């Protein structure tokens, strides 16, 4: 699930044009950089091109000079790019309600170094998980919310995000619908996780509804948030088969496991610069 953290990452996108792969790979060769992983995709319908390269310099490396020189090469292609240094830990804020399975999983992966993130704060509309945050020595903000205080609560959340410099917000089973304004502010940098039962079940006790219908598949979807509830651009999905022997509590347990794995995978893809937006869809270079 993780990239090689001793490698640099160059991620770029631009309109489709002849020479897009060459301009990247030729430059890296001229800079004496060895490519360890390369992924690219040309969208013939959207006429867009994306490329992600992991590389290691074979000598002295000056990132500022690299960026300046590559920018000269990229401009004729209208290519936007980002260079990520080895060992970069993305600052994040995690939002959660009462369910702790996704939070526990993220904290474990963070603790063992599997996810290169720097958790700046945990925000919740309930006090229940504060002891878990305290055990990890992480700041915990209990911000209750009611229909009449939603705007004020979100303003506090936004203040925390800005003050901590968080580049990503992870909704680890945060059971509140964000406002259109908040969704707009967090566009492309907030990941949500929810169940994906087939057929779809909404409302209370979805796994019990699924059991009553005799579902044969359970899963989870991780996506960027937008103003359409649970319908943002998809980053990762997980699915497993079930049968008549799975009672509601079994479906819930299996669903928790899939949610944890799918959310962690989506976060990993995002921080490793493996996700590119192409219109309302994503291009994901899964590793």
| Stretch(es) of the chain classified as CATH 3.30.70.260 | 8-84
Distances (CA, A) of 235 to 193, 240, 270: 10, 18, 8
Catalytic hit among 42, 230, 250, 257: 230
- Cβ–Cβ < 8 Å for 14, 80: yes
pLDDT by residue for the chain (287 residues), tens only, comes to 444 568 999 999 999 999 999 999 999 999 999 999 999 999 988 899 999 999 999 999 999 999 999 999 999 999 999 999 999 999 999 999 999 999 999 999 999 999 999 999 999 999 999 999 999 999 999 999 998 999 999 999 999 999 999 999 999 999 999 999 999 999 999 999 988 875 677 777 888 888 888 888 889 999 999 887 667 899 999 999 988 988 889 988 999 999 999 999 999 999 999 999 988 889 999 97
pLDDT tens by residue, 4-35: 568 999 999 999 999 999 999 999 999 999 99
Sign of CA dihedral 141, 145, 149, 153: positive
Q: Report, at the CATH architecture level, how domain 90-284 is classified.
A: 3-Layer(aba) Sandwich (3.40)
What phi, psi does 91 have (nearest 5°)?
-70, 130
**Is the distance from CB of 138 to CB of 122 less than 8 angstroms?**
yes
List helix spans (H) across the chain. 20-30, 63-74, 101-111, 130-135, 150-164, 180-185, 206-213, 248-271
How far is it, in rounded angstroms, from Cα 67 to Cα 52?
15
Cα–Cα distance, 274 to 235 (Å, whole number)? 10
Verify whether residue 72 is a known catalytic residue: no
% pLDDT > 70, the chain: 97
Residues carrying CATH 3.40.50.170, the chain: 90-284
Look at residue 55 in the predicted model and tell me its pLDDT: 98
Q: How far apart are CA 213 and CA 219, in angstroms?
A: 16
Q: Helix 248-271 crosses helix 101-111 at what angle (to 10 degrees)?
A: 40
Residues 85 and 278: their CA atoms lie apart, in Å, by 24
Longest dimension (CA), the chain: 63
Q: How far is CA 221 from CA 4, 47, 63, 82, in A?
A: 26, 27, 36, 27
Q: Are 83 and 9 in contact (CB under 8 A)?
A: yes
Alpha-carbon gap, residue 228 to 195, rounded angstroms? 16
Fold entry, domain 8-84: Alpha-Beta Plaits (3.30.70)
């Amino acid at each position: 699930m993780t990239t090689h953290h001793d490698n640099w990452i160059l991620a770029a996108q631009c309109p489709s044009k002849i020479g897009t792969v060459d301009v990247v790979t030729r430059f890296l060769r001229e800079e004496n950089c060895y490519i360890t992983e390369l992924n690219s995709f040309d969208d013939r319908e959207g006429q867009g091109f994306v490329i992600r390269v992991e590389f290691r310099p074979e000598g002295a490396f000056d990132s500022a000079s690299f960026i300046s020189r590559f920018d000269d090469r990229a401009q004729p292609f209208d290519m936007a790019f980002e260079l990520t240094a080895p060992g970069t830990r993305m600052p994040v804020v995690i939002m959660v309600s009462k369910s702790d399975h996704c939070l526990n999983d993220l904290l474990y992966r963070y603790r063992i170094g599997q996810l290169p993130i720097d958790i700046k704060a945990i925000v919740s509309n309930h006090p229940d998980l504060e002891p878990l945050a305290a055990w990890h020595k992480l700041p915990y903000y209990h911000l209750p919310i009611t229909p009449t205080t939603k705007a004020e609560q979100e303003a506090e959340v936004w203040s925390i995000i800005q003050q901590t410099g968080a580049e990503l917000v992870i909704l680890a089973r945060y059971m509140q619908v964000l406002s259109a304004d908040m969704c707009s502010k967090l566009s492309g940098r907030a990941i949500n996780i929810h169940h994906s039962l087939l057929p779809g079940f909404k409302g209370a006790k979805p796994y019990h509804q699924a059991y009553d219908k005799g579902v044969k598949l359970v899963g989870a979807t991780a996506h960027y948030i937008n103003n359409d509830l649970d319908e943002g651009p998809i980053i990762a999905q997980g699915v497993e088969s079930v049968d008549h022997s799975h009672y509601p509590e079994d479906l819930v347990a299996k669903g928790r496991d899939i949610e944890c794995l799918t959310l962690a995978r989506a976060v990993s893809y995002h921080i490793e610069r493996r996700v590119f937006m192409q219109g309302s869809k994503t291009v994901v270079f899964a590793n």
